[in-house]
Structure 1
Amino acid sequence: MSCFQTIADYGLRSLGIGERILPRGSVTLCEQFTLIGSGLIWNIYFGVVSLAFGFLFASALAVTKAWGPVWLRKPAEWFIFLFRGSPLFIQFFIAYEALVRLPKTGITLGGLLVPTDWTTSAWAGAALVLFLNTSAYAAEILYGALRAVPKGDLEAADAYGMTGWTKYRRVVWPTQLRLAWPAYTNEAIFLFHATTLVFFSGFPAYQQRGDALYYAKFFADKTYNPFIPYPIAAFYFILLTLALIGVFGVINRRLNRHLPGAQKPRLRIRPQIIR
């Protein structure tokens, strides 16, 4: 089988498109690159979905923690502490064990039957855990940036007669985002790396449709040689990290376009070994 045929057969296997049976017998390098790259689609999905929704929720949490009433501020603080204080692997495990105990026939709410069987699927349950986890970390980052907004900016907004939502949208929010963006970039990179825990933490890979690390482990177990598939997975994640740095760098330059060149903060990517 040629490499082009292998790519055609296995390029989208993680989505259920193409060959359903994993390679048997001898394994080629092309098969490893193709299947591990196919699994990366799931990692990108988990990262993009949790980042998109998590950023919005984190923004609300940060504002609530800084300015909200006590009955809202305390739950926000507890939420942030809980998800930042517990390991992500355990969060995956507890979430799956809790979701799998929901009634398989569904839950009746207001006379309507709401199905629950889909919640134990990785695309839903694991994405929910990643969403909650990154929301907690991003909320703390945004909260710190919110507290660091220069007092002079707030006084200038008051002098112009800005209050409430107008003041936040036109003065506080842009400055907060500009201050938080370098740290948030590191959080985004770590989140994409953390997606490799999904299929090792309880959520099953339906019909062996896993992520990049799932297929890397499959080849390592099959060939008894981990020094080929795992470096291939690392190679893909390095490319993904470079793409993230590029995208977030463009946004960072956009946020700081009004500053002189010498004052523009540069992104400093610091890998997080232990979270």
Structure 2
Amino acid sequence: MSCWETFLDYALRSQGIGERLLPRSDFTLCQQFVLIGSGMIWNIYFGTVALVTGFFLATAVAVGKAARNPLIRKPASWFIFIFRGSPLFIQFFFAYFLFLTLRGVSSFFDPFTSAWLGALVVLFLNTAAYSGEIFYGALQSIPKGDTEAADAYGLSGWSRFRRVVWPTMLRLAWPAYTNEAIFLFHATTLVFFSGFPAAQQRGDALYYASYFADKTFNPFVPYPILAFYFILLTLVIIGIFGLINSRLNRHLPQERRKRMTFKPQIIR
């Protein structure tokens, strides 16, 4: 089988398209590249959807934590504390068995026991908590002169937040938020190694890398391939977020613009 035929058979296997059976013997380098790359589709899906939806919840949580009203501030603070204080791996297990229990009560929760939705909910809440803390710190760091200038122009309420507070918060938080985005995509590798099953062996990139490592007894081929894909993905994220960062700081002189730096988190 040529590499092109392998690509046609397995490129979309993680989505249920193409060859159903995994290779059993005589594993080629092309098969490992294609199947692990196919699994990356799930990692990109989990990371992208969780990041986009979590961004809005993170903004709301940050504003809630900065609120003076304790009825708003306390729930936001506890939400951040719980999801930042517990390991993501445990959150996956807890959520899966919670959804299994709820499925026995109502069929509405059937989709939540599948990784495509249930694991996505966990990632969404987790990144919202981490990002919410980042945005809260940025809110606390907004120069008082900016808000005083908004008051002088007669801006208040939603208009003040949309035109002054929110853009300034994003500018201050964006470098740290970029690191959170990178780590979120890396954290997607935990999905199929937690409670959520991989239906019909349609797993993510780490699922296929582990399959080849187990079958060949040689982890030094599939895992470097997996690392290669994630390095490429990280470069894409840095590039996209760098462009957004430049857009957010376009009004500042060049020497005052914050440069994007990658500071990986060791413990989540």
TM-score (norm 1): 0.96
Task: Determine which of 247, 250, 255 is the counterpart of 1:257.
Answer: 250
Partner of 1:27: 27
Map Cα deviations across residues 157-191 of structure 1 (whole Å, 9 max, x no partner): 00001110110100111100000000000000000
Which deviates the most, 10-19 or 68-77? 68-77
Higher helix share: 2
Q: CA deviation digits over 1:238-259, x for unaligned, max 9?
A: 0000000000000000000000
What's the CA shift for 1:271? 1.5
The CA distance in 2 between the partners of 1:6 and 1:101, in whole Å, is 41
- Determine helix, strand or coil for the equivalent of 1:103: helix
Query: Which of 229, 238, 241 does residue 248 from structure 1 map onto?
Result: 241
Could you say which residue in structure 1 is the equivalent of 2:75?
A: 75
Alignment partners' CA distance in 1, 2:122 and 2:139: 25
- TM superposition shift of 1:103: 3.4
Q: Report the RMSD for the aligned CA atoms in angstroms.
A: 0.9
Matched, 1:89 2:123: no
Query: C-alpha displacement at 1:115, in angstroms?
Result: 2.2
What's the counterpart of residue 43 of structure 2?
43
* Alignment partners' CA distance in 1, 2:66 and 2:35: 46
Partner of 1:210: 203
Cα distance in structure 2, aligned partners of 1:195 and 1:27 = 26
Q: Which residue of 2 aligns with 1:110?
A: none
Alignment of 1:126-145 (within 5 A): 126-145=119-138
Q: Work out the CA distance in 2 between the residues paired with 1:68 and 1:86.
A: 27
Report what 1:9 is aligned to: 9
Q: Does 1:189 align with 2:182?
A: yes
Query: Whole-Å Cα distance in 1 between the matches of residues 3 and 261 of structure 2?
Result: 39
Residue 174 of structure 1: which of 164, 167, 191 is its match? 167
* 1:68–1:22 CA distance, 2 compared to 1 (3 A): farther
- Gapped regions of structure 2 (runs ≥ 5): none
Q: Give distance in 1, aligned partners of 2:161 and 2:102.
A: 41
Superposed displacement of residue 68, structure 1? 5.1
Aligned partner (choices 203, 214, 223) of residue 216 of structure 2: 223
Tell me the matched-pair count. Answer: 268
Amino acid at match of 1:189: I
Distance 2:41 2:239 in 1: 19
Q: Which amino acid is the alignment partner of residue 26 of structure 2?
A: S
How far apart are the structure 1 equivalents of 2:79 and 2:181?
Answer: 19
Match of 2:109 in 1: 116
Report the CA distance between 1:237 and its aligned residue.
Answer: 0.1
Q: Whole-Å Cα distance in 1 between the matches of residues 21 and 198 of structure 2?
A: 14
- Structure 1 residue 22: Cα displacement: 0.3
2:227 to 227, 230, 234: 234
Amino acid aligned to 1:60: A
**DSSP 3-state at the match of 1:101:** helix
Runs (4+) off by over 6 Å: none
Letter of the 2:89 counterpart: F
Provide structure 1 residue ranges, at least 5 long, that are not aligned to the other structure. Answer: 108-113
More off after superposition, 94-103 vs 184-193: 94-103
Aligned to 1:100, what secondary structure does the other structure show?
helix
Deviations 1:125-184 (A, max 9, x none): 000000000000000000000111100001100000111011010011110000000000
Please name the residue that 1:268 is paired with. 261
